Amino acid sequence: MVSRLPLEEKVLTALRPTQAEKDHVCGLAQRVLERIRQSGKADGMVVGSIARHTWVSGDRDLDIFMLFDPSLPREELETQGLALARSIASSFSENYHEKYAEHPYINATIDDVDVDLVPCYNVDSAERIQSAVDRTPFHTRYITEKINGLIDDVLLLKRFTKAGGIYGSDQMTEGFSGYLCELLVLHYGGFTPLLMAAAEWKPQAIIDIENHVAKEFDEPLVMIDPVDSKRNVAAAVSIDRMAEFVELARGYLESPSESFFLLPQEPPITREDLEKLLDERGTSLYAITFATPPYIEEIVVPQLKRSTLAISENLERHGFPVHHADYRMGKEESMILVELLVSRLPAIRGHAGPPVWNRVNAEKFRAKYLSSDLPGPYIVNGRYETEVPREFQHAGDLLRSEGMLQVSLGKHVRQAFENGWTVQEGPACWSPEFASFIGGFFGRCSPLVRMGKGK
């Protein structure tokens, strides 16, 4: 019998799905599975947390896989799988649409349940998968066989990581997936034993439940997939999310509180408060907005990350020191937010040339700048130097220039920029859509500090 804190038992009463929820979701699952069976084209299987009984009350995400014969060509899997998924979804609801991961699938809302209908191959081993989704049924079978007695621990861990803002293996979060949470609870034997172990984690921690690792990994946290020895389940976990989990584990063990299970809020900032904040900080804020590329988050977010880094590096190259930069993918528009320590620079800058004893290049440099009205060329430490006009004195001019298209933007972000982008400065960066993002941009702190436990 697992010993729990009273506060954990209290939290669990809200996390466990009610019998009515179970009957509703499982009843829908059975009806969908029957439609798949009747089609005679594939076998149906419920996967994910609902199949493993590790879903949190209110999280009605039903994942149903349609398992096709492995001999079916890949193109036919996509064509037939999508046709079957669309046919089944349309028989239950008018609210469905096509989405794309490694290959297309159908997402539908049926009786207030978010349903994914995903085609995959019915392979006999995870080592023989033909697409990434083929591995998922093996995950479900593995967890279902072993999770009995630890389901409540998984529910606690999922809410714990969600409350810490580190749940989700998506590109924006770079955190802990549901499957990883389940494996961690299995490996350590419960929620509390996991936290005790995690409090001592260091980068490159390796967990191999089945002792069958088949390759080396260089990610901060390594959880060898028990059904695929060549895969790291924790590959998405960034060094920061890992460190935040360690911090949360230490904080909870030291001083348990219900606050560790309260979902985080991102309060919006008002334009007036933003103006006051910038005045107090003495920094310059720029918001670059553009149409969100018409692709899923898994494609767009890494490109936003790359583009934010490239824009920051371009600002630094031109002499504008970046204090902080971040990005947010919105439904219609996306925003890159940059806070600069300096946004205005002098009209001139120093320009270094070659050493005087590099005769050919030195004489070319001297001749090139000889007619300039600015001082130079002159010699410093044996090298020619001169003063030249600065191309951009104001950071806003640089951010609005056509040169933005020459930096290493992500492919789809560049395409969006080619259709135009806007640059706002200071309080004008504020907009209703991004008020919470801007508030979070200036309110950043570690999860434990946010919970008021880090003082």
Give yes or no for residue 187 having a pLDDT over 90: yes
Same domain, yes or no, for 155 and 142? no
CATH code at 107? 3.30.460.10
pLDDT for position 129: 86
Q: Is residue 33 part of a domain?
A: yes
CB atoms within 10 A of CB 106: 25
Q: Is residue 402 part of a domain?
A: yes
Give yes or no for residue 124 having a pLDDT over 90: no
Q: What is the mean pLDDT of residues 18-24?
A: 95
Place of tokens 């936290």: 195
Same domain, yes or no, for 236 and 135? no
What is the spatial distance between Cα 375 and Cα 379, in angstroms, rounded to a whole number?
A: 11
Same domain, yes or no, for 288 and 431? yes
Give yes or no for residue 454 having a pLDDT over 70: no
Same domain, yes or no, for 365 and 378? yes
Q: How confident is the model at residue 2 (pLDDT cuts 50, 70, 90)?
A: low
Q: Is residue 11 part of a domain?
A: no
- Cis before 377? omega within 30: yes
Lowest mean pLDDT, pick from 5-9, 139-143, 292-296: 292-296
CATH code at 364? 3.30.70
418 against 450, higher pLDDT:
418
CB atoms within 10 A of CB 73: 9
Same domain, yes or no, for 340 and 352? no
H helix or E strand, kind and range, residue 46: strand 43-47
Same domain, yes or no, for 318 and 439? yes
Same domain, yes or no, for 233 and 177? yes
Q: Where among 146, 171, 189 does a domain terminate? A: 146
Which among 171, 75, 182, 95 is positioned nearest to 136, based on CA atoms? 182
Q: Is residue 136 part of a domain?
A: yes
Q: Is residue 2 part of a domain?
A: no
Give yes or no for residue 1 having a pLDDT over 70: no
Q: Is residue 455 part of a domain?
A: no
Q: Read off the pLDDT of residues 74-100 as tens digits, 9 standing for 90 and up.
A: 899 999 999 999 999 999 999 999 887
- pTM, entire model: 0.87
> In total, how many domains does the chain have?
4
CATH code at 403? 3.30.70.590
Strand partners for 65: 45, 118
What is the spatial distance between Cα 17 and Cα 8, in angstroms, rounded to a whole number?
A: 16
Same domain, yes or no, for 316 and 437? yes
pLDDT for position 455: 46
Q: Is residue 367 part of a domain?
A: yes
What is the spatial distance between Cα 317 and Cα 64, in angstroms, rounded to a whole number?
A: 50
260 against 267, higher pLDDT:
260
Q: Please calculate the CA angle 185-187-191 and round it to the nearest 5 degrees.
A: 25
Same domain, yes or no, for 80 and 135? yes
Lowest mean pLDDT, pick from 102-111, 189-198, 405-414: 102-111
Same domain, yes or no, for 352 and 339? no
| Mean pLDDT (the chain, rounded) | 93
Q: Where among 261, 295, 323 does a domain terminate? A: 261
Q: Read off the pLDDT of residues 309-360 as tens digits, 9 standing for 90 and up.
A: 999 999 999 999 999 999 999 999 999 999 999 999 999 999 999 999 999 9
Same domain, yes or no, for 71 and 121? yes
Same domain, yes or no, for 407 and 422? yes
Give yes or no for residue 265 having a pLDDT over 50: yes
Q: Where among 261, 287, 306 does a domain terminate? A: 261
Domain coverage including residue 231: 151-261
Place of tokens 């190259």: 317
Q: Is residue 450 part of a domain?
A: no
Strand partners for 106: 98, 117
CATH code at 175? 1.10.1410.30
Question: Computed from CA positions of residues 173, 175, 180, 184, in that sequence, does the dihedral angle turn out positive or negative?
Answer: negative
